[in-house]
Amino acid sequence: MPSSKRVLIVGGVAGGASCAARLRRLDETAEIHLFDRGLYVSFANCGLPYYVGNVIREEQKLLVATADLFQNRFNIAVHTETEALSIDRENRTLRVKDLRTGQERVEPYDVLVLSPGAGPIRPQVPGIDLDGIFALRTIPDSRKIRDWIETKGAKSAVVIGAGFIGLEMAENLAHRGLHVTLVEKAPHVMPILDPEMAAPVATKLQANRVTVRVGDGLAGFEKRGDRLAVLTESGAAFETDLVLLAVGVRPEVSLAKAAGLTLGARGGIVVDEFLTTSDPHIWAVGDAIEIHDLVTGQEAIVPLAGPANREGRLAAEAIAGRPRPFRGVQATAVCGLFGLTIATTGASERGLRRVGNIAYEKVYLHPGHHAGYYPGARPIHLKLLFRVPDGRILGAQAIGEDGTEKRIDVIAMAIQMGATVFDLEESELCYAPQFGAAKDPVNVAGMIAANFLRGDMALADWDAVPSTSSDVLVVDVREPSEFDTGHLAGATNLPLSQLRVRFEELPKDKELWLCCGVGQRAYYATRFLMQHGYRAKTLSGGMRTAEALGKS
Q: Looking at the annotation, which residues are catalytic?
A: 46
Q: Measure the CA–CA gap between 431 and 454, rounded to whole angstroms.
A: 27
Q: Residue 144: what residue type?
A: K
Q: How many other CB atoms are there within 10 angstroms of residue 210's CB atom?
A: 23
User: Are the beta carbons of 215 and 186 closer than 8 angstroms?
Assistant: yes
Closest CA to 114 of 320, 257, 235, 273: 257
Q: Measure the CA–CA gap between 146 and 284, rounded to whole angstroms.
A: 33
Helix (H, G, I), strand (E, B) or coil at 114: strand
The residues near 365 (Cβ < 8 Å, ≥ 6 apart) are: 382, 384, 441, 444, 445, 448, 518, 519, 540, 541
Q: Measure the CA–CA gap between 329 and 304, rounded to whole angstroms.
A: 10
CA dihedral 73, 74, 75, 80 (to 10 degrees): -90
Q: Measure the CA–CA gap between 473 and 142, rounded to whole angstroms.
A: 56
Residue 367 has φ and ψ, to the nearest 5°, of -75, 165
As to burial, measured by CB atoms within 10 angstroms (0-12 exposed, 13-18 middle, 19+ buried), residue 46 is middle
User: Are the beta carbons of 263 and 269 closer than 8 angstroms?
Assistant: yes
DSSP secondary structure string, 287-318?
GGEEEEBTTT--EE----HHHHHHHHHHHHHH
Q: How many other CB atoms are there within 10 angstroms of residue 549's CB atom?
A: 18
* Helices and strands, counts by H and E, the chain: 16, 33
| Rounded CA Rg of the chain | 27
Closest CA to 246 of 342, 180, 153: 180
